[in-house]
Amino acid sequence: MTLEDLGWTDAFRAAFAEHAAKGLVPGRVIAQRGMLVLATERGEVLATSSGRLRHDANDAGDLPTVGDWVAIQMPPEGDQGRIQAVLPRKSAFTRKAAGKKTSGQAVAANVDTVFLLCGLDGDYNPRRLERYLVGTWESGARPVVLLNKADACADPESVRLEVEAIAFGVPVHVCSAKTGDGVAEIATYLRRGETIALLGSSGVGKSTLINRLLGEQLQRTLEVRAHDARGRHATTHRELFLAPSGALVIDTPGMRELQLWDSDEGLEATFGDIEEVAAGCAYGNCRHETEPDCAVRDAIEAGTLDPERLASWRKLQKEAASLRIRTDALARSKEKQKIKSVHKAMREQYKLRDR
């Protein structure tokens, strides 16, 4: 496989020039199974991030993930490579890392189109879809909504219309990866050299769709639980596959929840209807609660704006504001620690000088 087969472009080549001068080799991260698996012109290489790269990363979101182009110090035969740098990303789907730690986690990088899968077998949730749309718009990739498991839904067309009402300008497709219905239309997005990532909660059928699109049984699939339509993790790690068309497809484990990271632009793109209505409020800082002449409340009373959608927008806005406060506090704490380290080093130098 050539670098061009993996999505190498003139922009990446230009960004790599400084690393080539140091004798490093370009590669793309194609799997994350504890260690990173890289595809290079010399074949596949297992690699870890160098200590300097880990030290210089602002948070985990800056470390290599599937889809990244990296500069590798190639190992002796049979040994592991060292990733010395991550090339600038053209897009990155990033979420808040699980747990209490305030840190970003890059799920997939350098993606052109994100397939957002929703299952129509009882697990469909428009509010969850709004979250995924915010994250995708923020990433810099193009979202496409896939309503999978149409064979398990009595009226998939009504769901499609509902989704189109909240996913403005985003293509929405109804399909069944199990039966193959609608898959041919989805396959038209798989163009040579472009990277597609599949995202969604557990059990929505990502692995089944991957197998359909690639024409091979590459990914293990599991049945969802009948009593609550919840899925289990068939995919346990991120991996990039080459489709027969020449497109590159990234499968990801299902997410029980998606906590947003950076989201300002994504919120604006996803909730453009509310932003447009809010521009008609009498006050620029209107909270759309008790203020007079509130265009948003008027729209709700007139039935032209869904109150549940407004509640979702408010919730995500509040979540984004809370995250900004935490990240600002974390940045201040890191700066203080840096200053303390510098002062400590200076004191040690003075002690040595005075001896």
Cα gap 337→326, rounded to integer Å = 17
Residue 52 maps to a domain:
yes
CB 213 within 8 A of CB 194: no
Q: Which of 46-55, 215-224, 327-336 is least confident?
A: 327-336
Sorting pLDDT into bands at 50, 70 and 90, what band is 155? very high
**pLDDT at residue 60 tops 90:** no
| Partners of residue 20 on adjacent β-strands | none
Sorting pLDDT into bands at 50, 70 and 90, what band is 227? very low
Is the domain of 102 the same as that of 223?
yes
* Average pLDDT over all residues of the chain: 86
Which one has a higher pLDDT value, 228 or 69? 69
Is the domain of 53 the same as that of 103?
no
Residue 171 maps to a domain:
yes
**pLDDT at residue 157 tops 80:** yes
The pLDDT assigned to 320 comes to 87
Last residue of a domain, one of 37, 65, 88: 88
Residue 24 maps to a domain:
yes
CATH number of the domain that 39 lies in?
Answer: 2.40.50.140
Is the domain of 132 the same as that of 201?
yes
Residue 9 maps to a domain:
yes
The average pLDDT across 25-51 equals 92
**pLDDT at residue 190 tops 90:** yes
Is the domain of 124 the same as that of 154?
yes
The pLDDT assigned to 206 comes to 92
Is the domain of 307 the same as that of 240?
no
Is the domain of 55 the same as that of 115?
no
The pLDDT assigned to 336 comes to 52
> Which region, left, alpha or beta, applies to residue 87 given φ > 0 means left and ψ of -120 to 50 means alpha?
beta
Last residue of a domain, one of 88, 122, 137: 88
State the virtual CA torsion across 78, 80, 84, 88 in degrees, nearest 10. Answer: 90
- DSSP 8-state class, residue 246: S
**pLDDT at residue 221 tops 50:** no
Percent of the chain scoring above 70 in pLDDT: 83
CATH number of the domain that 173 lies in?
Answer: 3.40.50.300
Is the domain of 149 the same as that of 240?
yes
**pLDDT at residue 149 tops 50:** yes
Amino acid at 311: A
Residue 285 maps to a domain:
yes
Cα gap 208→181, rounded to integer Å = 13
In 3D space, the residue among 158, 134, 137 whose CA is nearest the CA of residue 147 turns out to be: 158
**pLDDT at residue 346 tops 70:** no
Is the domain of 222 the same as that of 354?
no
Cα gap 278→18, rounded to integer Å = 48
Is the domain of 124 the same as that of 184?
yes
**Each residue's pLDDT tens digit, 264-311:** 889 999 999 999 999 999 998 898 988 999 999 999 999 999 999 999
193 membership: H or E segment, kind and range: none
**Each residue's pLDDT tens digit, 77-124:** 767 899 999 999 999 999 887 766 677 888 999 999 999 999 998 778
CB 54 within 8 A of CB 72: no
The pLDDT assigned to 233 comes to 44
Residue 234 maps to a domain:
yes
Q: Give the chain's domain count.
A: 3
- Neighbouring CB atoms inside 10 A of 280's CB total 13
Residue 217 maps to a domain:
yes
Amino acid at 191: R
CATH number of the domain that 330 lies in?
Answer: 1.10.40.50
**pLDDT at residue 197 tops 80:** yes
Is the domain of 340 the same as that of 206?
no
Provide the residue range defining the domain that includes 153.
Answer: 93-251
Percent of the chain scoring above 90 in pLDDT: 64
The pLDDT assigned to 353 comes to 61
**pLDDT at residue 231 tops 70:** no
Is the domain of 162 the same as that of 182?
yes
Residue 264 maps to a domain:
no
Is the domain of 48 the same as that of 161?
no
The pLDDT assigned to 222 comes to 43
**Each residue's pLDDT tens digit, 319-344:** 888 888 876 554 545 545 554 555 45
- Pairing of the two strands 248-251 and 195-199: parallel
Both structure tokens of 288? 């759309």
Last residue of a domain, one of 53, 88, 123: 88
**Each residue's pLDDT tens digit, 10-22:** 999 999 999 999 9
